[in-house]
Structure 1
Amino acid sequence: MTRPQKQSGRALAEHLNPGVHEALTLRYGHILPGMAETISDVAYGEFYGRPGLDLKTRYVATIAALTAQGGQTRPQLKINIAAGRKAGLSQIEVAEVIWQMALYGGMPAAINALNAALEVFEEEDAK
């Protein structure tokens, strides 16, 4: 991986999830050195930064997948809903993506995800 890709991945990570690199380093760096770099540089630089889909579409797919996986993904779902909002998703679009997953992940998973979305929306309103 070249240095410019790493920088663009970190810049994208910081734009969508301010402080994510530092938070991961502080939380996990002592037991998993390099984890923050992998997420910032690879997940954002090599996946979210790829050509072919815009960020908004990538977040539709991410929110759908995390919703269908169920309640164990709640922390990641909230982070990705917030990032999806920064990428241009409306509250209605987030809710519709989640509700569509009721067919694939079940009603409980969709309802739990809707509750997570409402928390994100409330946090946005509080700012």
Structure 2
Amino acid sequence: MHTSEQQAGDDRTQRERGLEVAEAFAGADMVDHVRAAFADTAPEFVDYMVDFVFGEVYARPGLSPVERQIASIVALTTLGGADFALKNHIEIGLRVGMDPAKVVATIMQALPHAGFARVAEAMLMARRVFAEQDLHVFDKPSGAS
């Protein structure tokens, strides 16, 4: 078992490792965006996310970046009510190599477990992210607006 400060064979602190992994997955801009979102309420919350989520969980071997995002998107879809996190993980998924069709298929996979309402909300969030990034799942028919 790894200590909370260091993983086996890694002399970086958990915070250093967490920031490196977070920036590799999400980019420095998203880390700054999340930090700003909580700055006036709970600035230490972002430190906990960086330390634990990225410094421990995401730094573990065994899953590729895309596989991690598939798991995260399905979990957040099934959980429901996690729009901020779901939006961020859809964006991260696209950043690490998922295409819009894979994001949609990932959300659809939650349907039997999460139900129509939660999957519909997740699809709407994906649609919003795709629109912000000018991405399309399907080519629009010519003449369509």
What interval of TM-score do these two structures reach, taking the shorter chain for normalisation?
0.7 to 0.9
Q: How much has 1:18 moved relative to structure 2?
A: 3.0
**Deviating 4+ runs (over 6 angstroms):** none
Distance 1:27 1:78, change over 3 A: closer
In structure 1, C-alpha distance between the alignment counterparts of 2:58 and 2:42, rounded to whole Å: 22
Aligned equivalent of 1:6: 15
Query: TM-score, with normalisation over the residues of structure 2?
Result: 0.75
Structure of larger gyration radius? 2
Question: Is residue 129 of structure 2 the alignment partner of residue 120 of structure 1?
Answer: yes
How well do the aligned residues superpose, as a CA RMSD in angstroms? 2.0
In structure 2, C-alpha distance between the alignment counterparts of 1:113 and 1:94, rounded to whole Å: 10
- Choose the corresponding residue for 2:47, options 16, 33, 37: 37
- The worse-fitting range, judged by mean Cα deviation, of 51-60 and 35-44 is 35-44
More helix by share: 1
In structure 1, C-alpha distance between the alignment counterparts of 2:122 and 2:91, rounded to whole Å: 13
Q: How much has 1:6 moved relative to structure 2?
A: 2.6
Query: TM-score, with normalisation over the residues of structure 1?
Result: 0.85
Alignment of 1:103-118 (within 5 A): 103-118=112-127
Q: How much has 1:116 moved relative to structure 2?
A: 0.3
Deviations 1:32-53 (A, max 9, x none): 3522221112211211121011
Alignment length (residue pairs) = 125
Q: How much has 1:13 moved relative to structure 2?
A: 1.5
* Structure of higher RCO (CA pairs closer than 8 Å, 6+ residues apart): 1
Aligned equivalent of 1:82: 91
Structure 2 residues not aligned, in runs of 5+: 136-145
In structure 2, C-alpha distance between the alignment counterparts of 1:79 and 1:14, rounded to whole Å: 13
Q: Percent of counterpart pairs with the same letter? A: 28
Structure 1 residues not aligned, in runs of 5+: none
